[in-house]
Amino acid sequence: MRLSAGMLSLPKAGASRNEYEDAWACPTACAQPSPPLRCAMADGASESSYARLWAQILVRSFAQGEWDPQRDDRSQLDRLRRRWLRIVSRRPLPWYAAEKVRLGAYATFIGVELSAPHGAIVPWRAAALGDSCLFQLHGDEIVTAFPIASRGDFPARPFALCSRPGEEQSVLAICGEAHAGDSFLMMTDALGRWFLAQREAGGRPWRTLLRLSELGAPAFARWVRARRASGAMGNDDVTFAWLALREV
Amino acid sequence: MPYTAEISRANPSCFLFLIDQSGSMADAWGGGQDGIAGSKALEVATIVNNLLRNIVLKCSKDEGVRNYFDVGVIGYGSHVGPAFGGTLAGRDLVAVADLADAPLRIEDRTRKVMDGAGGVLDTTVKFPVWFDPVSFGGTPMRAAFAEALRVLRPWIESHPASYPPIVFHITDGESTDGDPSQDAADLRRLGTQDGPVMLFNIHVSSQPEQEISFPATPPGLPDAYATMLFDMSSDLPSEMRERLQMEGYAAPAGARGFIFNAEPTALVNFLDIGTRPANLR
């Protein structure tokens, strides 16, 4: 079985690429990644500072097997927190930046792990905190929507992982099986809201997104801007990633 | 739908504070914990410094402070006019990045925070001070509202599509230049395409009554000024009530922008300028 993966993104309108605070990591850039294969997406909360860095630390650590939120006794997460603090504390900060460091950065997270195939079956598991979305596509149907299954389930203010210790939030977990031909679609909340709204209206939004995955970044950017202009999508950083399992 | 405009650097909103600096503010404040109450002027300074601090923190990002808001402070007492000191003295409205860099001083204060293991520990936080307590002269509240109109009219003309300005009026309610109700109504009639100016009245009273936040009916307190200030306060639209409820306020249907003897520290959090996590306190 062969796996292909890719990602498209667009910063919030009015923000520069440097201000984009979503993150994605997937080691499929390696020619033959060995199972288990982990991919993750995080959405840094814009009301916190250094959220882009925190989101990057989370997804890279998950993808590299350094952090597993389902098996972490918090020692792994605390190590990532110390890394974040070490980086942001390298230079003297004005009072407001120092206070934002004290408050911590926040990011939602979703990560999926694909195990080695058992014949035609690929076992998978995923962990999530917040409103970043994972969908499993089998044939032309969504068979898994995690952790949010309907448009109305998006919270106005999602829970997120904080880069400082404090009131810890529980990570949701799910597992399942995938087959050759299945795809996993991952997306941050603005696109997830559009996706589920379309699906609930009887549409097949995965077809649009998979087509955009073939057309590439310029087409994706034009498409997102049009949705924002029409009010169909909120003005937020948008990230879409896909993992496609194919028979060799 | 009103109050839905996106607040951005290209489309900022505005906070205007009207602060009572009259002689009566030297009297003891009726609120506070453990019966320890300083003067009303001290309480006003605490409220304003806390709110300004929260506004700056809301706009602070990795690279600095983003100008999501213009901020002004009008003081009224022995005179009426811009109340910023230091390098901001004399300015009606300043960008929040300028505000961030120009407190009079920065103090270290101790706050209790969760330790991550179910306990609470003391931590030192940076507390900028833009205002010290002032209490001198009469209470020309009508003149203060006239000054607010003078400051906000041109801002609204130059920001017609912005989220409308929010005015925080902090007082003990004892106007000495007449009933300000009509002036407050004139202020609430100003607005952008996104809705009318919101007027919040924060009443610091000498009466040792319990705290009241965003009531839907007149408070009926022995302090005669509370009802007047309640009547002058904006009706809160449903979107704003929902945000306040997320911050822990009851804010029932019909709630007004009125607070009595309470510290509205979390008040600016009802404005979203991006994703605010539920667990960010």
State whether residue A45 sits within 8 Å of chain B by CB. Answer: yes
Range of the domain at B143: 13-270
Confidence check: pLDDT of A33 > 70: no
Other C-beta atoms closer than 10 Å to the C-beta of B159 total 20
Contacting residues of A for B103, CB less than 8 Å apart: 95
CB distance A96–B9 less than 8 Å? no
**Which range, of A58-67, A151-160, B20-29, B204-213, averages the lowest pLDDT?**
B204-213
CB-based contact, B275 to chain A, within 8 Å? yes
Residue B246 pLDDT > 90: no
Q: What is the number of alpha carbons within 13 Å of residue A193 lying toward its C-beta? A: 19
- Give CA A42 to chain center in angstroms: 4
Q: What is the pLDDT of residue B99?
A: 97
Looking at residues B2-10, what average pLDDT do you find? 90
Per-residue confidence band for A112, with pLDDT thresholds at 50, 70 and 90: very high
Q: Single out the residue of A5, A15, A27, A92 nearest to residue A51, CA to CA.
A: A15
- Going from N- to C-terminal start, the domains of chain A cover 2-246
Contacts of B272 in chain A (CB under 8 A): 47
Report residue A234's pLDDT band, with 50, 70 and 90 as the boundaries: very high
Q: At residue B185, does pLDDT exceed 60?
A: yes
Strand, helix or coil for residue B106: strand
Q: Enter the pTM of the model.
A: 0.89
Is the CB of A99 less than 8 angstroms away from the CB of B57?
Answer: yes
A237: distance to nearest CA of chain B, Å?
10
Residue range B250-264: average pLDDT? Answer: 87
Mean pLDDT, chain A, as a whole number? 93
Residue B92 maps to a domain: yes
- In whole angstroms, what is the distance from residue B196 CA to residue B261 CA? 26
pLDDT value at A11 more than 80: yes
Number of domains in chain B: 1
Q: Phi and psi (nearest 5°) for A206?
A: -65, -30
- Report CB contact under 8 Å: B6, A97: no
In angstroms, the CA A128 to CA A148 distance is 10
Is the Cβ pair A96, B62 closer than 8 Å?
no
Contact B128 A95 (CB under 8 A): yes
Tokens 């169909």, residue? Answer: A232
Interface size A-B, in CB pairs within 8 Å, comes to 100
Q: How far is B71 from chain A (nearest CA, A)?
A: 17
What digits encode the pLDDT tens for the residues B41-50? 888 888 899 8
Residue B8 resides in a domain: no
Give me the interface pTM, i.e. the ipTM. Answer: 0.87
Which chain B residue has the Cα nearest residue A100?
A: B57
CB < 8 Å to A47, chain B: 58, 272-277, 280
Give residues 142 to 171 of A whose Cβ lies within 8 Å of B.
155-160, 162, 165-169
Q: Is the pLDDT of residue B93 over 90?
A: yes
B278 within some domain: no
Question: Environment class of residue A214 by beta-carbon count within 10 Å: exposed (0-12), middle (13-18) or buried (19+)?
Answer: exposed
Query: DSSP secondary structure string, B175-230?
Result: -SSS--HHHHHHHHH-EETTEEPEEEEEE--SS-PPPEES-SS----SSHHHHHHH
B58 interfacial to chain A (CB closer than 8 Å): yes
- Using a CB-CB cut-off of 8 Å, the residues of chain B touching A159 are 277-279
Cβ-defined contact of B6 to A235 (cutoff 8 Å): yes
Q: Could you tell me what percent of chain A has a pLDDT over 70?
A: 97
Binned at pLDDT 50, 70 and 90, residue B35 comes out as: very low
Percent of chain B with pLDDT over 70: 87
Cα–chain center distance at B237: 18
Distance CA B268, CA B271 (A): 6
What is the band of A27 on the pLDDT scale with cuts at 50, 70, 90?
confident
pLDDT at B34: 37
Computed over every residue of chain B, the mean pLDDT equals: 87
Q: Is residue B61 part of a domain?
A: yes
Residues of B in contact with A237 (CB under 8 A): none
Report the C-alpha gap between A160 and A106 in whole angstroms.
6
Least CB-CB distance to B276: which of A43, A157, A168?
Answer: A157
Q: Tell me what the mean pLDDT of segment A170-197 comes to.
A: 96
What is the pLDDT confidence band of residue B28, given thresholds at 50, 70 and 90?
confident
Of the candidate ranges A31-40, B16-25, B69-78, the one whose mean pLDDT is the lowest = A31-40
Q: Chain A neighbours among B 120-179 (CB < 8 Å)? A: 123, 125-126, 128
- Within a domain: B3: no
Query: What does the pLDDT read at residue B36?
Result: 39
Q: Is residue B136 part of a domain?
A: yes
Report, as an integer, the average pLDDT of A18-39.
81
pLDDT band per the 50, 70, 90 thresholds, residue B134: confident
- Smallest Cα distance from B28 to chain A, Å: 31
Mean pLDDT along residues A146-166: 93
Q: Which CATH class is domain A2-246?
A: alpha beta
Range in A90-99, B126-135, B202-211 with the lowest mean pLDDT: B202-211
CATH of the domain at B39: 3.40.50
Interface test with B, best of A96, A159, A191, A238 (most B CBs within 10 A): A96
Q: Do A94 and B101 touch (CB under 8 A)?
A: yes
How many other CB atoms are found less than 10 A from the CB of residue A168?
A: 14
CB contact under 8 A, B57 and A96: yes
